[in-house]
Structure 1
Amino acid sequence: MAKAKQKEQKGFFTYIKWFWILFGSGVLFAILIFLLASWGKFGEMPTFERLENPETNLATEFISSDGETLGKLYLDDNRTPVSFDKLPQNLVNALVATEDARYYDHSGIDARGFIRALAYLGKKGGASTISQQLARQLFIGVRDKESTTNAILQKIQEWVIATRLERNYTKEEIIAMYLNIYDFGYAADGIRSASRIYFGKEPHELRTEESAVLVGMLKNSSLYNPIRREELVFNRRNTVLGQMAKYDYITEEEKDSLQALKMKINFNPESHREGLATYFRMYMQRWLGNWVESHPKPDGEKYNIYLDGLKVYTTIDSRMQKNAEEAVEAHMKNLQAEFFHQNTPDRNPTAPFLDISKGAIDTIMRSAMKTSPRWRHLKREGLSEKEIEATFHEKAEMTVFDWNSDSYEKDTIMTPMDSIRYYKTFLRTAMMSMEPQTGHVKAWVGGVDYKHFQYDNVYQGARQAGSTFKPFVYAAAIDQLRYSPCDSLPDNQYCIEPLKHGNMEAWCPKNSDGKYSGKNLTLKSALANSVNTITAQLIDKVGPGSVVAIAKNMGITRDIPEVPSIALGTQDINVYEMVGAYGTFANQGVYVKPVMVTRIEDKNGTVLYEYTPETKDVLSKDVAYAMVNLMEGVTLYGSGGRLRHTYGKNQTVYKEIITGYPYELTNPIAGKTGTTQNQSDGWFMGMVPNLVTGVWVGGDNRSIHFSRLLYGQGAAMALPIWAIYMKKNYENEELGVSKEAFEKPENLSINVDCTKVLEDLQDELDTEDDLEDIDF
């Protein structure tokens, strides 16, 4: 009996011994597994340095002067991180309630959740904590799901990294990192991009039901995509709201109320071809690419403008940029409709080209074909020119620009050659707005639609300046000859003799209507009405060299031949340089080079660049003010007069094609219209004391233009964009756009009051009729 009892006790102790042996072995094995994982035996593990600085691709962000994101530069990851304090509490609550209810109670591994997942085989929820999910996103990725071994090894790695993350970061930092790293689809990398793309707002502005949508997407952003699967996402959102109520983040009443709300998605895709200031952003991409070449990192490496998360603080005002884009859209849509009306096959068999031969048209079309992206792409693929050209005559499905569509796009079938001709029927435009005192560029519109017309006419494009060049001639005359706006010259045919100023034959410019009034015109009247004969006399007196020198000092960098014909704007200038030059007049004679960037920071907020203004004294304050006074005459009673009032026999026509006409602006405005030969280019340069804006409108080719001056002049093509833009600016008083008069210098030495000249002349002239010989 005793022996049996001893045997029984011995067996019990044997069981106990083996239990502890097995238990200890299991613990040691688990420790060994974790050690092997931490040593990287199951795959590369992050170093301590990588844990401190996890590598993520960060987009470069362009920020407006009023603090709005204009757009980003990125390759694959459109990510801009936000700190925890920029996240709304409802988003954090939704995340914790749905993904990791005991998040604040564990150190990276949720033991209760793990046991539950094992017991129910994952049917009642997984065991991955937020820290584990972050570890997977940052350092592991997704292994082959079909391999059980790989899945187990990945889970072990997640545990190890999760515990390390918990030691290195606070709970709040881990939440921020997780939301910043997640890919929400549609280039919505991270919570900031996601909130902007799906709801059109910053993360801190998210409402509870909106946060629930984004948290619901964390389960599988491809499956729970609100653009493609609205009902599925709606149900998932309500599940998240249910979890928030379950863990007392919201009440049952709040849950019921929020679940009953319709899901309102405000989809704003962020791409390089869409959004605000697209042409400006593409200019900045080139500018930034050049900047990083000469500004390396401390270790000598170059910054990557797509991956290093640079913050570029620009001078663009997002509100003024929006006003500019809306002004361009409003006017160009109407103007284009009139252009189409005049270029039907019956009215113009060679549409959209005018006044050129079929051979010349063929040359233009072949040149466009050989410079097209399609040609370059097929050339790189090794096709011969004959093979490539054949593809341009094969019909294909394509999406093209269309003003009449809600989205400004339409699907069609045509040959690539037909599409080239189709796109040439559209008028192009450029607009830039600048603060003359600082050079800060406030708005930049390089065309009607960047997605379909990627040529930037603000900077890349240069066209004949027409009469907008005349103020440089007048400035030279006032500066060197001390003329005043009230001095007068005769409007008669005027010829500059051969070999004078370098011209090979006599130059006898005509006025736009081919007529000469025979009257004496004040300079103010002559510039207001763009009288060519007066301008010719002025450049003859000062010489083309003086005019070129002034234009160069005012920022015009393109070559300008020193010949008399430049007085009428025969040389090509872009809008960017023209706006900078006109800024000299508004800034009391001081040229300030246009500025687009004020500061660049790296992802940590370290300042890498701050701009230094580039200025040059060009004109005296008196001369600059006299020029402003001259150009005020343009908008008072000259070619820009429709800014202020309705007049003329063409009122009905203008109402039909010019949006918002009449504009009835009453504040002081200086400006100059410009129209080139055959109405190929229409310009308007407009100034108020603290804002200078230039607008150009024309065809892709000089042979694409209106047939009549009525429609093709700068006052009809370009001026309306300026007027609509300014009216929109004045509607927002926060913008501070001036309505005051231009500052008059003390002790002004140049007479600008032409009424005094009229009184003096009245005493000298015999009869009142003689006054008709002078036009003021």
Structure 2
Amino acid sequence: MDYHTENRRKSKPKLYKRRWFQIVLILFFVPIIISSFYGLSILKTKHAKAQTFDLEAITKLEVPSRIYDRHGVEIGQIKIEDRRPIALDKVPYHVIQALTAVEDSRFLEHQGVDFIGIARAVILNLKAKRITQGASTITQQLAKQCYSELKSVRNIDNKIIEAFLANRIEQNFTKSEILEHYLNRIYFGSGYFGIESAARGYFGKSTSEINILEAATICGLIKNPSRLSPKNNIDQSTKARNHVLNRMHAEEMITEKELLEFKKIPIELVKSTADQNSYVQEMVRLQALNIVGLEKAGRGGMKIHTTIDNETQKASIQSLLRNLTKAESHKDFKHLSYSKYQERASIPKSLSLPSGQNSGPDYLQGALIMIENRTGAIVALVGGRNFKHSQFNRAIQSKRPSGTAFKPFVYATAFETGEFFPGSILNDAPIDNRSVAIGGNTGILGEWGSESETVSYQGNITVREALRNSKNAATVRLGKKIGRQKVVDLVRRAGINSSIDDYDKSFLGSSSTSLEELCRAFSIFPNKGQNLESVYLISSIENSSGDSIYKETKPKRNKALSTAAAYQVHSCLKDSLSKGTGKMAFEKYGLRDKSAAGKTGTAYNFTDQWFIGYNSSVTCGVWAGFDKPKMIYRGAFSKDTVLPVWVDAINTSLNTFPPEPITMPDSVTTIEICLKSGLRATDSCYEETAGKEEGTRKIERVTYKEIVDKKMGFNEYCSFHSNGLNSVRHPIIGALQNNASVQPVNISTEAVLLGSPTVLGETDPYSSLEPILRAKAVNDEEKPLKATAVTPNIMNNNKSSIFISPPEKIQIPDID
């Protein structure tokens, strides 16, 4: 062997000294070192970023503002998130067990980040070749929920910040505090934020009352609240619940036997009820936004006090739904019903009609509003049958022809002129439709306002009868006499700002107005002619500290109508409700308020139905019809559909708003009117009629009392009975003498009448104001009244009586 060769082999450099190895080593370690330093710098940056988050956000919950009725009953919320905070000491232990078992079984052991849990999740996910488990702890989830920048963007940078932030949270809050904040903040699906809202929403009970199964169901939703909500997918929700039960069993929280039994029990949710106050809530929300702004209204935890009476509100909603459903069951109703629309809306979108053919709720709609007469406060409000189907508030936003409900303003205008009073005579006879032009220009005007399919004309009738029975032709004739512009001026003063048709058909309510406007305008009658400039719903607002930040100023009231005219219309509308078109309120629907008054309203061709009525305390209006006007069915009258709704609302309101009689003002008086002539009665206004027993006759006074404005110069007295016209029956005394036929005497001259009322004392000794019966048939059972000496007891006062000696008897000589 060559010595030099062997020596060269022995002197071969070691591997680490070889250049290529050193180069490889440098290429391997330098990136690692650089990456390490870079990673450490990144971690340091993320750690510094985590220190910048304000931990006070952990304790600040987005609590909605709550809405209360006038009695302090909660009726809704203005919310971005439906949340009801609850203290941890009111949360059952099995809820904590279910939560930690499924979300963070090592919650009590780690300091915000569970490294063991991360390793376990990595191994399980690698085995499954997909992500089956996460490793975020309860504290990390809380950190993510509290800060929008961590919640909105999910990447590795934010996960690192989240981990550092979780550790910081653990250092500043106790485990109990972290659990409480977590349970009150996390989303549980179906719009419920926080476990208390979820418990109430899904099971109708507080968190303190839920059992293990219900706790497992709620905690099983956290992974994917929207998809796993039992309201959306009961099968997936059941699987999620069972997974929680399996985890509880694995953590030895429940036994094998309990696990098997629990899995057999189906999820039972509380029956879902529609939010009946949705229209009120939306109206409050919009008004609150204008008052305090979006942020405070949605997140400020305010108490918003409204003028709503919750009992009246509930009764109104239930009655409206019930009676409109009844109307849809009428044999002549040919349209889509509410129940059919519900069925159609439940069809999956893939199977439903194209959007152009399935545009919205086209079933029969209705609305109601009740206001307090004194203040304009809204007592009840229903904007439609289902807020989810349509957010259009028909009580406020919709404008429809008011139909015959408009008539009282025509009569109020007539009374205001001083030329008419309830006893004035109108002609109730057919009228040519060319002068009104409702539904065409031919034929005669229809009489749908009488709320009856049978049409009858009565000739000369009083104004009171015309309004009480809602006579169309008589109303148009009255309107033509007083002039359309005067009626328009009155309704403007009353508060109706909608446009009025410039035609005579406006006397019958052809013009469109809102339910709120018409209801407010009607309030001038119980308010003695005073109008309400507006109505209001929010009475006051308090912030989260209980400090008042808003108080409503009551609307102004202005003179719209004289007290005399207002009371005259009221007296007619009271008759309308008791014996006119609205008499079914008492006869069929059980109205308990005898002082109430109101007016039915049916539009031409039965497209819209109204009833507006009031008592001394409140005024209430109800409407029914379609959003796209069309006939409900022929013969659909308001007395059958909306009147019972009005009665239910008024009856319920009596508990909170007890009415008082609407008294006659000093500006009016009552006078006696002859039924035949329509003029002021005289002592001659008597007529002979048949007695109760066969063959008997009696004389009755044919007059009635009527209300008249004291300023009205109505001094025309009846000449019908006093001038001996042929149509006046014979005096009964003459007919009793030998059954002789007495021929009527025609007198061409009129009776001499008083030019002014007689000046009388306190007791009216001569019966000048109220004439007494002059003659009466006497039968065997009755004895005629005889003169009686006047005594102090009869005179009924403390003054001494004047005794007059009777005259001497007249001696009549015997002419034979």
Deviation at 1:640, TM superposition (A): 0.6
Counterparts of residues 304-383 of structure 1 (less than 5 Å) = 312-338=304-330, 341=332, 343=334
Q: Distance in 2 between matches of 1:748 and 1:556?
A: 28
Deviation at 1:636, TM superposition (A): 0.8
Q: Tell me the secondary structure at the aligned position of residue 663 of structure 2.
A: coil
Q: Distance in 1 between matches of 2:518 and 2:93?
A: 54
Question: Does 2:475 align with 1:535?
Answer: yes
1:51 matched residue in structure 2: 56
Q: Tell me the secondary structure at the aligned position of residue 329 of structure 2.
A: helix
Where do 5+ consecutive residues of structure 2 fail to align? Answer: 1-38, 125-132, 436-440, 449-453, 690-699, 707-816
Question: Does 2:424 align with 1:452?
Answer: no
Alpha carbons 1:80, 1:192 under 8 Å: kept:
no
TM-score normalised per structure 1: 0.65
Q: Distance in 2 between matches of 1:312 and 1:217?
A: 32
Question: Does 2:591 align with 1:665?
Answer: yes
Deviation at 1:206, TM superposition (A): 5.9
Question: Does 2:425 align with 1:489?
Answer: yes
Change (3 A) 1:531 1:751: farther
Deviation at 1:275, TM superposition (A): 2.2
Q: Tell me the secondary structure at the aligned position of residue 531 of structure 2.
A: strand
Change (3 A) 1:202 1:474: farther
2:610 matched residue in structure 1: 683
Alpha carbons 1:134, 1:178 under 8 Å: kept:
yes
Alpha carbons 1:79, 1:190 under 8 Å: kept:
no
Question: Does 314-323 or 118-127 show the bigger shift?
Answer: 118-127
Alpha carbons 1:629, 1:752 under 8 Å: kept:
no
- Of 138, 142, 160, the match for 1:134: 142
CA-to-aligned-CA distance 1:700-720 (integer Å, 9 cap, x gap): 444x21563xx2222234223
RCO higher in structure (CA 8 A, sep ≥6): 1
Deviation at 1:331, TM superposition (A): 1.7
2:643 matched residue in structure 1: 719
- Of 537, 552, 555, the match for 1:614: 555
Q: Distance in 2 between matches of 1:98 and 1:682?
A: 56
Counterparts of residues 526-675 of structure 1 (less than 5 Å) = 526-536=466-476, 538-540=478-480, 542-560=482-500, 565-592=505-532, 593-601=534-542, 607-618=548-559, 619=561, 623-645=565-587, 662-668=588-594, 669-675=596-602
Q: Tell me the secondary structure at the aligned position of residue 321 of structure 1.
A: helix
Deviation at 1:267, TM superposition (A): 5.6
Deviation at 1:115, TM superposition (A): 9.1
Alpha carbons 2:62, 2:300 under 8 Å: kept:
yes
Alpha carbons 1:63, 1:314 under 8 Å: kept:
yes
Q: Quote the RMSD (CA, aligned, Å).
A: 5.3
Q: Distance in 1 between matches of 2:570 and 2:262?
A: 60
Alpha carbons 1:107, 1:163 under 8 Å: kept:
no
Question: Does 2:656 align with 1:736?
Answer: yes
Alpha carbons 1:555, 1:580 under 8 Å: kept:
yes
Deviation at 1:276, TM superposition (A): 1.8
Deviation at 1:186, TM superposition (A): 1.6
Q: Distance in 2 between matches of 1:171 and 1:676?
A: 68
CA-to-aligned-CA distance 1:208-237 (integer Å, 9 cap, x gap): 875564355457646864443454465467
Q: Tell me the secondary structure at the aligned position of residue 696 of structure 1.
A: strand
2:277 matched residue in structure 1: 277
CA-to-aligned-CA distance 1:546-579 (integer Å, 9 cap, x gap): 4333322322121335765433222211101111
Deviation at 1:584, TM superposition (A): 3.1
- Of 75, 78, 81, the match for 1:79: 81
Alpha carbons 1:320, 1:442 under 8 Å: kept:
yes
Alpha carbons 1:200, 1:268 under 8 Å: kept:
no
Deviation at 1:43, TM superposition (A): 7.4
Q: Distance in 2 between matches of 1:240 and 1:586?
A: 69
Question: Does 2:668 align with 1:750?
Answer: yes
Alpha carbons 2:216, 2:241 under 8 Å: kept:
no
CA-to-aligned-CA distance 1:85-119 (integer Å, 9 cap, x gap): 5x7x4426445455569xxxx99975699698699
Counterparts of residues 228-243 of structure 1 (less than 5 Å) = 228=233, 229=236, 231-232=238-239, 235=242
Where do 5+ consecutive residues of structure 1 fail to align? Answer: 1-32, 248-253, 297-301, 344-351, 353-399, 500-504, 646-661
2:167 matched residue in structure 1: 159
Deviation at 1:470, TM superposition (A): 1.8
- Of 191, 197, 200, the match for 1:193: 197
Deviation at 1:494, TM superposition (A): 9.8
Change (3 A) 1:217 1:484: same
Change (3 A) 1:143 1:71: closer
The one-letter code sitting in structure 2 at the alignment partner of 1:634 is S
Alpha carbons 1:108, 1:159 under 8 Å: kept:
no
Deviation at 1:334, TM superposition (A): 2.5
Alpha carbons 2:300, 2:544 under 8 Å: kept:
yes
Aligned length: 624
Alpha carbons 2:112, 2:166 under 8 Å: kept:
no
Q: Tell me the secondary structure at the aligned position of residue 682 of structure 1.
A: strand
Change (3 A) 1:71 1:757: same
Q: Tell me the secondary structure at the aligned position of residue 599 of structure 2.
A: strand
Larger radius of gyration: 2
Change (3 A) 1:749 1:261: farther
Q: Distance in 2 between matches of 1:144 and 1:561?
A: 59
Alpha carbons 1:108, 1:129 under 8 Å: kept:
no
Q: Distance in 1 between matches of 2:592 and 2:219?
A: 53
2:46 matched residue in structure 1: 41
Change (3 A) 1:50 1:752: farther
The one-letter code sitting in structure 2 at the alignment partner of 1:531 is K
Counterparts of residues 143-542 of structure 1 (less than 5 Å) = 154-164=162-172, 166=173, 174-200=178-204, 210=214, 213-215=217-219, 217-218=221-222, 221=225, 225-227=229-231, 228=233, 229=236, 231-232=238-239, 235=242, 263-266=267-270, 268=272, 275-284=275-284, 286-288=286-288, 291=290, 303=295, 312-338=304-330, 341=332, 343=334, 402-404=338-340, 409-411=345-347, 413-414=352-353, 416=355, 418-419=357-358, 424=362, 426-481=363-418, 485=422, 487-493=423-429, 511-512=447-448, 516-523=457-464, 525-536=465-476, 538-540=478-480, 542=482
Deviation at 1:127, TM superposition (A): 9.9
Determine which structure has the larger helix proportion and give its number. 1
TM-score normalised per structure 2: 0.62
Change (3 A) 1:145 1:457: closer
Change (3 A) 1:213 1:63: farther
Change (3 A) 1:138 1:624: same
Alpha carbons 2:107, 2:137 under 8 Å: kept:
no
CA-to-aligned-CA distance 1:270-317 (integer Å, 9 cap, x gap): xxxx6223344444555455x16xx66xxxxx7486666665443334
The one-letter code sitting in structure 1 at the alignment partner of 2:593 is N
Question: Does 2:623 align with 1:696?
Answer: yes
Alpha carbons 1:315, 1:441 under 8 Å: kept:
yes
The one-letter code sitting in structure 1 at the alignment partner of 2:81 is R
